[in-house]
Amino acid sequence: MSEPIPVSEADLQAYVDGRLDAERRGVVEAWLATRPDEAERLAAYRRLSGEVRAAYQSMLSDPMPDTLARFVRPRTPLRRIAVAAAWVVLGAAIGAVATLELSATRAGGSFLADESAAMARRAAIAHATYSPEVRHPVEVGAADETHLVAWLSKRLGVQVRVPKLDDAGMSLVGGRLLPGETGPVAQFMYQTPNGRRLTLYVRQERQHNSETAFRYARENNVGVFYWIDRDCGYAIASADLSREELLKVADLVYKQLEP
């Protein structure tokens, strides 16, 4: 009898998304039953996914914009293709809209693509999900920073560095691994002595972009400064800090992460 195929990260992501068949789902669930830490990680992914759906579900019931509807009016054999294409475009539009307030605050750099705006949204939602946690705000605490950095660097496939924010009156709480648009991402959490929190969201950039300008986004009550620097994308999010305070921290982080 052949041994079962090892459970991969792709399996776990597909399990969270509900894309596994019954047989493979059973294998993954049996694997998770003996690994409570992994089970908790996937439970956190589900919670984050739920936050994303809750934030944008209402948009799916909105009328189709006229600019898209005109593509689906002809009653021809191509109509179904046009409908599908229109909804793909609408799906992309959903990812590009919301309550994002964008403005450049650093001279130079290129305009950020929709993927970067999506990163800012996910960073804001991840911050809103985990920053209120009291008992489990992170997976690995600051006391194990060396292990945390090595683990996240391995998972992201790029050397991750943890900036020091002592000058901003903030200390590292720890970090965790999260699902991103194209692969795993890292989230580091910091807080002040009186409990004001900030998170740093880091993902690998496949295109190895040159430096981009700082951009600002606001998702509900969470402010985000985000940018791309060569092989990594960064987003700093907080519901506790003002825009000016957040910009100062972003500049502090940027200077520390410069090659």
Residue 242 belongs to some domain of the structure: yes
Regarding whether 149 and 45 lie in a shared domain, the answer is: no
Regarding whether 126 and 83 lie in a shared domain, the answer is: no
Q: Rounded to an integer, what distance in angstroms lies between the CA atom of residue 25 and that of residue 222?
A: 36
Residue 102 belongs to some domain of the structure: no
Question: Which amino acid is it at 96?
Answer: A
Regarding whether 72 and 45 lie in a shared domain, the answer is: no
Regarding whether 52 and 33 lie in a shared domain, the answer is: yes
Q: What are phi and psi of 235, to 5 degrees?
A: -145, 125
The HSE-up count of residue 235 (CA atoms within 13 Å, CB side) is 31
Q: Among the residues of 157-241, which ranges form H helices?
A: none
Are the C-beta atoms of residues 36 and 43 closer than 8 Å to each other? Answer: no
Structure tokens at 8: 């991969």
Regarding whether 138 and 25 lie in a shared domain, the answer is: no
Edge-first strand listing for the sheet containing 222-238: 140-141, 171-179, 184-191, 197-209, 222-238, 215-219
- Which structural domain, as residue segments, surrounds residue 35? 9-58
**CA-based diameter of the chain, in Å?**
65
Q: Rounded to an integer, what distance in angstroms lies between the CA atom of residue 31 and that of residue 24?
A: 11
Q: Is 35 left (phi over 0), alpha (psi -120 to 50) or beta?
A: beta
Regarding whether 152 and 252 lie in a shared domain, the answer is: yes
Question: Per-residue pLDDT for the chain (259 aa), expressed as one digit of tens each?
Answer: 444 557 877 788 788 878 888 888 888 888 888 888 778 777 776 776 666 566 555 555 555 555 455 544 554 455 555 545 544 444 444 343 333 333 333 333 333 445 678 888 899 999 999 999 888 899 999 999 999 999 999 999 999 999 999 999 999 999 999 988 778 999 999 999 999 999 999 998 876 555 567 889 888 889 999 998 878 899 999 999 999 999 999 999 999 987 6
Tell me the whole-structure pTM to 2 decimals.
0.59
Residue 122 belongs to some domain of the structure: yes
CA of residue 107 relative to chain centroid, distance: 25
Name the 3-class secondary structure at 171.
strand
Domain count, the chain: 3
